[in-house]
A and B are shown apart, each in its own frame.
Chain A
């Protein structure tokens, strides 16, 4: 599984450093809701 990493805890980092993460989360959420709509809820993996 791919993942996104950001270092936090410092002042004034680069602008929009969370933009990609927010876009990925948004699209993940949409694709999940689409599969729900299609009725086939995938087996939930637990950590």
Chain B
């Protein structure tokens, strides 16, 4: 039984190593992807896209475009009836858009 367990541990070790390599390469690819000029120019959604999502159709939708490292804070206001979102940026102004209905 010990021999079988040791053999399986060897297989799992190889599987984990392969996963680590794939995670690393995928993270790198994603980072490069977001840095390509073309992707930056074409990486957008339209208001229609947001309205096409069924769970957002009959909702008020606010879109927030914030600089990197902007802090989003939600205090736990259990039972107080007012729910808050606090946004604080240190790298530039935050843009907030109200998605139009149509």
**Taking beta carbons and an 8 Å cutoff, which residues of A are in contact with B?**
1-12, 21, 24-25, 27-29, 31-32, 35-36, 41-42, 44-45, 47
- Given known A-B contacts A3-B76, A8-B64, A32 and B81 have beta carbons under 8 A apart: yes
Main secondary structure of the interface of A (DSSP, over half): mixed
Closest 5 CB pairs of A and B: A9-B66, A3-B75, A9-B68, A9-B70, A2-B76
Q: List 10 A-B contacts (CB under 8 A).
A: A4-B74, A5-B72, A8-B70, A9-B68, A9-B70, A28-B77, A44-B80, A44-B81, A45-B82, A47-B84
| A41 and B81 contact, CB distance less than 8 A | yes
Residues of A within 8 Å of B64, CB to CB, are 8
- Given known A-B contacts A9-B66, A12-B30, A42 and B81 have beta carbons under 8 A apart: yes
